[in-house]
Structure 1
Amino acid sequence: MNPVEVTRGESPVVLGLPHTGTHVPQDIRARLNARGKGLSDTDWNIHKLYDGLLEGVTTVRATFHRYVIDANRDPSGQSLYPGQNTTGLVPLTDFDGEAIWDEPPSGGEVEYRRETWHAPYHAALDAELERVKAIHGVAILYDCHSIRSHIPFLFEGTLPDFNIGTNEGATCAPAVAEAVDATCRAAEGYSCVMNGRFKGGWTTRHYGRPAEGLHAIQMELAQSTYMEESPPWPYLHERAGALRPHLADILKRLDDLGRSGALS
């Protein structure tokens, strides 16, 4: 199975979708325990939520599940959030801190998975960012994520609706962060935070090089904004329908910014 699906457009905006895939090869699935086979930490329905919001946008979507290998983790295995509970390159637990494997992968198998799944996803993402940068002089990576709004193992209390990550401003020009933040704060009935619990994963930090014309920003949505946060994880059309115009506004503002020359 192809580890990555790419849809090409001419916008300066590229959507990264590292966690919506649910494919787990049979030999790997057989080693997951019953809890792991539930795939609960999927970014459920995110590709559906963003579909059609910006004409000409490029999308790069991982088809494999994050339990195979996490496309948004440092391939070296280094933690994104030292000292905090998190999951690794190949998670050994789910977001609730519970074991997901009957037989965890060995170091050699992790490396095989990195080469087979993680590396092709990032090769495709890098190629698309360079392609749109060649067109516009800049590229804006908008990394699409979602997570349950209440996970005590990872954070206290209830997560805000919009969680914007720029690694404390390092991964994009201020104008990019301001465009996203302003749209979120103007969205009536929703809460937001900049660089709160989620400051941007490895993808955002790796590709965000504003001095080179590569801007990256992560959006971690609380899943309560568009779906039911329990199996079978249904997409709630009315709730999603209320959210989608705000996401469309964000992408349109980024598209306009990328085309304006203001980031060059």
Structure 2
Amino acid sequence: MTDPVIVKRGSSPVVLGFPHTGTFVPPEIEKRLNENGRLLADTDWHVDRLYDGLLDDATMVKANFHRYVIDANRDPAGGSLYPGQNTTGLVPETDFDGVAIWKDGEGPSEADIAARIEGFHRPYHAALAAELERVRKEHGIAILYDCHSIRSHIPFLFEGKLPDFNIGTNLGVTCAPEFEAAVEGVVSLADGYTHVVNGRFKGGWTTRHYGKPETGVHAIQMELAQSTHLTTEAPPFAYDEEKAAKLRRHLQDVLERIERLSFSARM
């Protein structure tokens, strides 16, 4: 059995969350996926690789399981992140194009969902919560930087082309304004890239659940358009070394900036 979560502890106030890079699907669940579902197309492809080594002393919490098993960035109570808009749920019925991912009659039951919450969703968040609390106690502050990516064109979810950097703070609720400004300040100067703050993606359940600045825990989601670091946004979703190298310089600037700011904020 693959462990549902990997934790790499660091000494920085910054904690990196990776809820959607995992591709593990238990065999008993995989056999229920249809041909489309088995593509695992909605993975945040190579995002853990993209951030690897950018901030050596950051803590990393990474889900190993795929979001089709259960989505670690959704409310375990089943609430929608974006009421009235197309989105996918706690255990998705469809992919991001609105196409079914389960064989007929093989979609998850309420019992399946409850079991997956206990076996996957809860362990991931137990680990993430523990690391945030450890870091907060050590530094007096913790910064959750939630790492994501998505295809730049998905008509089912949004019109047109997604900006390259999508910063989500739930309209400024999940972090102090200086952290949001710091991240935007870096990406706004990234030549050849576009960005938006609290656009289509305002921060998922993770960002909204943990981001409580009044307690010393600040949370920011970064949703990257996959065109910034993949050769193509279609199978085999290959990592583009040249694109990624250029992007990594800006991401490193972001992480170093919020780390410096967090050290200043705790003084």
The alignment's TM-score, normalised by the length of structure 1, stands at: 0.99
Which consecutive unaligned segments of at least 5 residues does structure 2 have? none
| Structure 2 counterpart of 1:125, from 128, 134, 140 | 128
Instruction: Give the alignment partner of residue 235 of structure 1, picking from 207, 229, 239.
Output: 239
TM-score (norm 2): 0.98
8 Å CA contact 1:225–1:243 kept in 2: the answer is: yes
| Count of matched residue positions in the alignment of Structure 1 and Structure 2 | 263
**Corresponding position of 1:149:** 152
Question: In structure 2, what is the Cα distance between the partners aligned to 1:105 and 1:89?
Answer: 11
Alpha-carbon offset, residue 172 of structure 1: 0.2
What SS class does the counterpart of residue 116 from structure 2 fall into? helix
Which of 245, 249, 253 does residue 249 from structure 2 map onto? 245
The residue identity in structure 1 corresponding to 2:258 is L
Q: Is the 8 A contact 2:139 2:266 kept in 1?
A: no
The match for 1:60 is: 61
How far does residue 263 in structure 1 lie from its aligned partner after superposition? 5.2
Alignment of structure 1 residues 40-119 onto 2, 5 Å: 40-102=41-103, 103-119=106-122
Matched residue type, 2:242: E
> Amino acid of the residue matched to residue 72 of structure 1?
N
Q: Which residue of 2 aligns with 1:135?
A: 138
Give aligned-pair identity as a percent.
66
4+ runs deviating over 3 angstroms? none
The residue matched to 1:125 in structure 2 has which SS? Answer: helix
SS of residue in 2 equivalent to 1:34: coil
Instruction: Describe the superposition over 1:3-40 as per-residue Cα deviations: whole angstroms up to 9, x where unpaired.
Output: 00000000000000000000000000000000000000
- 2:36 is paired with a residue whose SS is helix
- Maintained 8 Å contact 1:41/1:147: yes
2:35 matched to which residue of 1? 34
CA offsets per residue over residues 215-236 of structure 1, 9 Å max, x none? 0000000000000211000000
Query: What does residue 254 of structure 1 align with?
Result: 258
Q: Is the 8 A contact 1:173 1:263 kept in 2?
A: no
Report how far residue 120 of structure 1 moved.
0.2
Q: Measure the CA separation in 1 of the matches of 2:138 and 2:41.
A: 39
- What is the one-letter code of the residue matched to 2:235? P
Q: Deviations over 1:141-190 (max 9, x none)?
A: 00000000000000000000000000000000001100100001010110
Q: Which runs of 5+ in 1 are unaligned?
A: none
RMSD: 0.7
Any idea what SS the aligned residue of 1:177 has?
A: helix
